[in-house]
Amino acid sequence: MDSSIVKLRSKLEVYKAMTDGGNLSDCPVRDVIQGLSGKWSSLLMAALAEQPYRFGELRRLVPDISQRMLTQTLYDLQRDGYVHREVFPTKPPSVEYSLTDLGRSMFEALQHLLQWAENNHDAVRGARATFDAGQA
């Protein structure tokens, strides 16, 4: 079973790792997860996991992200060490974003969740439809 490594740790431990200290600054796991829980983070990670992209390419690739949020999300990902930003001295200068080793490592863990989402989206959509019908 591919989840054996994870299962060796009790769920309680993972939970405690998220709440230890009671506040964010004392809880590293929450601190890290926070940076990934934005609306665009996982999407941009998935894009950059495929290949490095330039700013404008990413903007065209994800048409419904605002330029402002693209800038900011890339900045945050870079700050947390997942993404490398390189400016090429062309005219006008172009900027390439790529995953760091840390970013690739993180994406491997994230990918399980993306995979699950792809495999189970109809179950989720079904649950949502049933729920909404019941509330109506």
Interacting residues toward DNA by CB under 7 A: 38-40, 54-56, 64-69, 71-72, 74, 85, 91-95
Which among DNA, a copy of itself, none contacts residue 8 (Cβ within 5 to 8 A by kind)?
none
Q: According to CB under 8 A, which one of 87, 89, 90, 118 is a site residue for a copy of itself?
A: 118
| By the rule CB under 8 A, 33 interacts with a copy of itself | yes
Q: 31 near 24, Cβ under 8 Å?
A: yes
- What are the strands of the beta sheet with 83-88, ordered from one edge? 53-54, 94-99, 83-88
Which among DNA, a copy of itself, none contacts residue 93 (Cβ within 5 to 8 A by kind)?
DNA
Return the SS3 of 82. Answer: coil
Task: Using the structure block, give the residue that is written with the tokens 């999300």.
Answer: 73
Contacting residues for 17 by C-beta, under 8 A, at least 6 apart: 27, 28, 29
Q: What sign does the dihedral 9-111-101-77 (CA atoms) show?
A: negative
CB 91 to a copy of itself: min, Å: 26
Q: Residues interacting with a copy of itself, by CB under 8 A?
A: 2-6, 9, 11-12, 14-15, 17-19, 22-24, 28-39, 41-43, 46-47, 49-50, 61-64, 78-81, 102, 105-118, 120-128, 130-132
